[in-house]
């Protein structure tokens, strides 16, 4: 039987009273340790607590712990809002943005078709307010290439030849930069990753083909919307993009 854990706080228990005797800074470090996830958390509204299994139980100890921990849970993690097979995906992002705790979200990853949806949400003041705490929004997942190429080709925003599909990807990104109160800059991220592969190693003494382990380097590309602070503190492999003059 699957165990379910609720995020709703319960009346204070002895555990909560004991825990609250710790200094605030210690409690905050404990929350971060419990709830930080190195990857991306897939947004699934009805089963959100399942990502944290038993670590989510601390949220139900008492109201004070709940109030202290919820901003950290949402603030330190990256939330991936992606398309789900055989599901109505038109409402997944609006529903997530409309949840009370979305105001604590700082880092969001969107599937590419949802970039336009996000831009459309900013037409409503309530959504502008709900998303003002965002510090970064990744426009799609990382794209792999086996050789160094232009980002336009890697992100598949330019068709063969010279036609630019700006209306499908870049125009919504520019719209977000114009409308959003914080996400004013677009950053191009590039990084290399080496993956282990099997290569042809010739033949053995019996004339049979032999495989040898080796590594192949791939290039990854992604676009990221960031705040003024993010634009000032670019990391290795990042550079600002002028969308209007990009191609």
**Cα–Cα distances in Å, from 33 out to 73, 101, 243?**
10, 20, 38
Q: Express as a percent the part of the chain with pLDDT over 90.
A: 38
Count CA atoms closer than 13 A to 167's CA, side-chain side.
Answer: 1
* Token representation of residue 152: 């336009």
Asked whether residue 97 carries a pLDDT value surpassing 60, the answer given is yes
Phi/psi of residue 2, each to 5°? -75, 130
Q: For the segment 182-205, what is each residue's pLDDT rounded down to a tens digit?
A: 999 999 888 888 777 766 666 666
Q: Which two tokens stand for residue 61?
A: 């100890």
- Give the confidence band of 151 by pLDDT, cuts at 50, 70, 90: low
Higher-pLDDT residue of 39 and 156 is: 39
Question: Is the model's pLDDT at 3 over the cut of 60?
Answer: no
d(CA 135, CA 176): 13
Measured distance CA(99)–CA(43) in Å, rounded: 12
- In eight-state DSSP terms, residue 236 is T
Tokens 């080709």 correspond to 153
Q: Determine contact, residues 182/134, Cβ cutoff 8 Å.
A: yes
At residue 149, φ and ψ (nearest 5 deg) are -145, 180
DSSP 3-state assignment of 32? helix
pTM: 0.75
User: Is 109's pLDDT higher than 80?
Assistant: yes
3-state helix, strand, coil in the chain (%, to 5): 40, 25, 35
For residue 61, the model assigns a pLDDT of 67
User: For position 168, what pLDDT does the model report?
Assistant: 65
**What mean pLDDT comes out for the span 205-224?**
75
């Amino acid at each position: 039987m699957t165990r379910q854990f609720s995020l709703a706080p319960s009346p204070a228990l002895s555990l909560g009273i004991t825990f609250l005797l710790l200094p605030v800074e210690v409690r905050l470090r404990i929350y971060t340790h419990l709830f930080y996830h190195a990857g991306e958390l897939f947004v699934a509204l009805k089963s959100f607590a399942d990502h944290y299994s038993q670590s989510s139980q601390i949220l139900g100890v008492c109201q004070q712990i709940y109030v202290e921990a919820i901003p950290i849970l949402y603030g330190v993690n990256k939330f991936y809002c992606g398309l789900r097979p055989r599901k109505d995906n038109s409402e997944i992002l609006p529903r997530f943005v409309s949840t009370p705790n979305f105001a604590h979200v700082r880092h969001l990853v969107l599937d590419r078709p949802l970039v336009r949806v996000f831009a459309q949400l900013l037409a409503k003041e309530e959504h502008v307010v709900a998303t003002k705490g965002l510090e970064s929004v990744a426009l799609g997942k990382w794209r792999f290439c086996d050789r160094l190429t232009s980002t336009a080709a890697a992100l598949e925003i330019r068709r063969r030849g010279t036609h630019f599909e700006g209306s499908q990807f870049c125009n919504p990104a520019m719209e977000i930069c114009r409308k959003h109160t914080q996400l004013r800059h677009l950053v191009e991220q590039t990084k290399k990753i080496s993956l282990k592969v099997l290569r042809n190693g010739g033949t053995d003494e019996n004339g049979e083909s032999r495989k040898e382990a080796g590594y192949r380097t791939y290039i990854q590309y992604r676009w990221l919307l960031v705040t003024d602070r993010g634009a000032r503190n670019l990391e290795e492999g990042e550079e600002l993009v002028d969308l209007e003059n990009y191609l």
